[in-house]
Chain A
Amino acid sequence: MSKYQNICDSMLLSRFFDRELEPDEQTLVREHIKSCPSCQKMHREHQAVSDFFRAGMDEIVSQIRFDSLETKILEQIREKQISWQTKLKLFFLSRRIIIPIAAMAAMMFIFFSLTVKSPVSVAGPSALITSFTGDISSVMFLETPESHQTIIWFQETF
């Protein structure tokens, strides 16, 4: 208990909500919240925000044909030898991982697209995204499986 002078610290609570604390710290804060009205209030607010974004993201993701994408991608892998940077992209798609941090995705995309030569048989994406910034809550970069049309899907903030 003496580890923290003030458990009601917003940064500490934020790390608790994101499950970034060590197990003993997580337990400590969880116990504290049970008896602290202000931390309970913060917890409810954090939960509401998380639920809001999760619901929006779930709705968007539910509209994406991951199964179809995954099947076609795996077929292409079997049919032809493809570059390692494409395999990396397929890894992300096949695991249904969404990267909401636009800059990170864009920079990785551009890095791999520009620094490594692709085999002639593999067509590049219709668009290379060199930067993306905005007042948005999430963004995804997609590519259609056959003709590699680039899609940017974003969720506006309100």
Chain B
Amino acid sequence: MLTFASAASVQAGTINIVVKTVLASQNTKFADPRLSDLIRELESVFRYSSYQLLSQNAMNLNMNQTGAAPLPEDRVLKITPARITGNRAELQLVLFKGDRQIFQTVIQLLNNGMITVGGPEYKGGYLLFNISVSF
């Protein structure tokens, strides 16, 4: 049944995307239980002691359709799926702060995979944007 649903999704050309906005800091010791899997990954690379989920945005996009995830401090992450090649989805990610484009990147993300984009300082810590896809 799951296989059938997945195949149908590919045929329809839609991609499920979830954007989690996380505040990582060293101010306190806190692990948001909704981020347990992600925290385990991040702790292997970073030394932050606190990971807090600030928001979560889910979207279901067709190819070449752009979805937008509102982020803190007037930032917006725009995501546009371009195509599916094998078990990877090609996505264009564009981060804006106000009217200013901060960066744009094109990635090929594994089905049921994720990528974390981080760096902006926020409330004494750093913002991380975790983007996961399934199709």
Q: Is B22 an interface residue (CB 8 A)?
A: no
Q: Is B110 an interface residue (CB 8 A)?
A: yes
Tell me whether B102 and A134 are in contact (CB under 8 A): yes
9-residue interface stretch from A1-9, A27-35, A36-44, A142-150: A142-150
Tier of interface size on chain A: 20 to 34
Q: Mark B87-102, 1 if CB is under 8 A from A, else 0.
A: 0101000010100111
CA–CA, A39 and B104, complex, Å: 37
Docked complex: B70-110 residues within 8 A CB-CB of A:
88, 90, 95, 97, 100-110
Tell me whether A144 and B105 are in contact (CB under 8 A): no
Give B68 Cβ to nearest chain A Cβ, in Å. Answer: 18
CA–CA, A149 and B41, complex, Å: 8
9-residue interface stretch from B1-9, B12-20, B51-59, B112-120: B112-120
Tell me whether B41 and A144 are in contact (CB under 8 A): yes
Chain B interface residue count, CB cutoff 8 Å, equals: 31
* With A127-B110, A134-B102, A134-B104: A145-B44 Cβ-Cβ less than 8 Å: yes
Q: Is A151 an interface residue (CB 8 A)?
A: yes
The DSSP consensus for interface residues of chain B is strand
The DSSP consensus for interface residues of chain A is strand
Nearest A residue to B131 via CB reads A127
Tell me whether B88 and A146 are in contact (CB under 8 A): no
Nearest A residue to B92 via CB reads A131
Nearest A residue to B107 via CB reads A127
Which residue, B45, B116, B117, has most C-beta atoms of chain A within 10 A? B45
Tell me whether B107 and A63 are in contact (CB under 8 A): no
Q: Which residues of B contact A68 (CB under 8 A)?
A: 44-45
Q: Which residues of A contact B41 (CB under 8 A)?
A: 144, 146-147, 149
Tell me whether A136 and B102 are in contact (CB under 8 A): yes
A-B contact pairs, 10 of them (CB 8 A): A65-B44, A65-B47, A127-B110, A144-B45, A145-B45, A146-B41, A149-B114, A149-B115, A152-B118, A156-B97
In the complex, the 10 A-B pairs of residues with the closest C-beta atoms, listed nearest first: A134-B103, A126-B113, A127-B115, A128-B108, A154-B119, A132-B105, A127-B107, A130-B106, A152-B117, A131-B106
